[in-house]
Amino acid sequence: MSNYTIRPLTEAEVKQAVDWAGREGWNPGVHDAECFRPTDPDGFMGGFLDGEMVASVSAVNYDDAFSFLGFYIVRPEYRSHGHGLEIAGHALAHCEGRNMGLDGVVEQQDNYRKSGFTFAYNNYRFGARVRDVLPKLGQVLGNGVASLSTASEALKAYDRQLFPAARDNFLQSWLGATSHISRVYTESGQIRGYATLRPCKTGYKVGPLFADDAAIAQALLASLLAAIPVDHRDHDVFVDMPQPNVAAFAMADQLGLDKVFETARMYSDHEPDIDLSRIFGVTTFELG
């Protein structure tokens, strides 16, 4: 394939890959491209056939030990020609020597196993209309919730307990992004949870939703959904929950959320030692 080249994506091309993800039904956030790319600009790659982008992948290195794969897409009319395998090889080379995580959609999981990834657990996307969820949340523990727009050292330390690597650059972009709304829950001066709401191609997503217990998770969720304009509350809200978190699934049931999508969290080397019982919503399926 002499006319097939692979290179890092420009900012505009990352936005194009995000649009492709929307067409695949993954429902990315409106400002995902601006938030994702600064984490590792060289980690967003495109496959170009005669100068036209036909494939994408992201291989984001957080540090020397951990990376995350996403946006593995080949345009439908160019599939089954080896373009995906070739760009995947470049992504794996970019992350060489690191434990790599990914959220594999059902139809790709066998391919990831062939590349050396092993299953850790399922993540499920739950969703319902904002208008239907809000009355079931109330204002539990609402006095502990405050607005959040920057990543303090305390917040970075809290996040690091629940993510396999420090991600300071990402957090600053995520919390400060246009139209993102974030909340933090504190008790006796200590952070016990935080969460971010972002508008997506369809509705809204909450992620991360990190909390020390279900009551705090519900308080954060209540505050975020209450910030959605009244005339937007017929839209859906989605939360991506790890299956091992029994309390998260119980909360989804209590709030009347429906399962709408699933992935398999997989790793190339080992499952990181993080407390899934405090992860009520993963940040994103694309960056972990």
Question: Do residues 267 and 147 share a domain?
Answer: yes
Residue 1 has what pLDDT? 45
Question: Do residues 201 and 255 share a domain?
Answer: yes
* CATH number of the domain within which 38 lies: 3.40.630.30
Q: Is 281 in contact with 240 (CB distance < 8 Å)?
A: yes
In a domain, 194, yes or no: yes
Q: How many domains does the chain contain in total? A: 2
Show the low-confidence residues of the chain (pLDDT under 50).
1
Which pairing describes strands 99-104 and 66-74: parallel, antiparallel, or unpaired?
parallel
Question: Do residues 10 and 102 share a domain?
Answer: yes
What token pair was written down for 245? 């978190």
Residue 143 has what pLDDT? 78
Q: Could you tell me where the beta strands, DSSP code E, fall in 76-203?
A: 99-104, 118-129, 145-148, 181-187, 190-199
- Quote the distance between the C-alpha of residue 47 and its chain's center: 23
Q: Provide the residue range defining the domain that includes 135.
A: 123-281
Question: Do residues 197 and 111 share a domain?
Answer: no
The domain boundary, picked from 83, 105, 120, lies at: 120
H-helix or E-strand spanning residue 46: strand 44-49
Question: Do residues 105 and 140 share a domain?
Answer: no
In a domain, 286, yes or no: no
Structure confidence by residue, pLDDT tens digits, 37-72:
989 999 999 999 999 999 999 999 999 999 999 999
Question: Do residues 93 and 159 share a domain?
Answer: no
What token pair was written down for 155? 């917040």
Buried b (16+ CB within 10 A) or exposed e, 225-251: bbebeeeebebbbbbbbbbebebbbeb
- Other Cβ atoms less than 10 A from the Cβ of 162: the count is 19
The domain boundary, picked from 78, 105, 120, lies at: 120
Residue 198 has what pLDDT? 98
| pTM for this model (two decimals) | 0.95
Residue 2 has what pLDDT? 57
* CATH number of the domain within which 188 lies: 3.40.630.90
In a domain, 45, yes or no: yes
How far is residue 119's CA from residue 116's CA, in Å, rounded to a whole number? 10
Question: Do residues 153 and 236 share a domain?
Answer: yes
Residue 111 has what pLDDT? 86
How far is residue 11's CA from residue 72's CA, in Å, rounded to a whole number? 17
Of the candidates 269, 262, 247, the one whose C-alpha atom is nearest the C-alpha of residue 104 is: 262
How far is residue 206's CA from residue 174's CA, in Å, rounded to a whole number? 12
Question: Do residues 103 and 151 share a domain?
Answer: no
Q: Is 222 in contact with 228 (CB distance < 8 Å)?
A: no
Question: Do residues 93 and 153 share a domain?
Answer: no
Q: What is the CA radius of gyration of the chain?
A: 19
The domain boundary, picked from 90, 120, 150, lies at: 120
Question: Do residues 16 and 41 share a domain?
Answer: yes
In a domain, 127, yes or no: yes
Question: Do residues 106 and 211 share a domain?
Answer: no
